[in-house]
Structure 1
Amino acid sequence: MVESHTISAPRHTSGYPGRQADCLAALRPAVADLAASSQDSVVAAMGGEMTGELLTLAHEAQGAGWSFDEAREAIEKLAREYEGAKGTIFD
């Protein structure tokens, strides 16, 4: 990863309404940087594959309090959002 972002922790250790949205927000800056520096990682994430950089990011999210599965799902969703937004530039 080009730059390391601090990943925000969840507001509570257990489940709560809006936790998925909070996880997305916590990972959005790091995924955006990764998308800018490694298109292959974004394509892999869209297909559900966790490359080394993506695994590192998911483990960093775990360290902040998110589960690995929450982080993986957020990374995949953010990768799809990034690619979708990129496509609309050319529409």
Structure 2
Amino acid sequence: MKESHAISRPQRDADYSGRQADCIAALRPAVADLAAASQESIVAAIGGEMTGDLVALAHRAEEAGWSFKEASAAIESLAREYEGAKGAIFD
């Protein structure tokens, strides 16, 4: 996966209200790039699975100050959002 988008840091190191929403916003451009390049990774993320590209993205998020757990949840949420925008129906 190419690293074209910088991932924003959290506002604070400690937990705060809206932190997960900030994580989602920080990862949105990178997940959009990934969705365009690898539909397989998006489908995996929807199912809670982490492909190599998704793990690499989560580690990039860790380098920016997010936890792997926060990044994984944000990636799954964004994958569902991406598919929902395409008209997919989820259980």
Q: Give the TM-score normalised by structure 2.
A: 0.93
Give the match's secondary structure for 1:33. Answer: helix
Q: Where is the helix percentage greater, Structure 1 or Structure 2?
A: 1
Aligned to 2:22: 22
The answer to whether structure 1 residue 56 and structure 2 residue 66 are counterparts is no
What amino acid is the match of 1:8?
Answer: S
One-letter identity of the residue aligned with 1:81? E
Shift of 1:4: 2.2
The 1:2/1:86 distance shift into structure 2, 3 A limit, reads farther
Is the CA contact (8 Å cut-off) linking 1:7 and 1:60 kept in structure 2?
yes
Counterpart Cα distance in 2 of 1:82 and 1:21: 16
The code of the aligned residue for 2:69 comes to: D
Q: Structure 1: how far apart are the matches of 2:4 and 2:51?
A: 17
Aligned residue identity for 2:85:
A
The percentage of aligned residue pairs carrying the same residue is 72
The alignment partner of 2:53 has SS state of helix
Identify the residue that residue 69 of structure 1 maps to in structure 2: 69
Q: RMSD across aligned C-alpha pairs, in angstroms? A: 1.1
- TM-score w.r.t. the length of structure 1 is 0.93
Q: Deviations over 1:50-85 (max 9, x none)?
A: 000000000000000000000000000000000000
CA separation in 2, counterparts of 1:33 and 1:50?
16
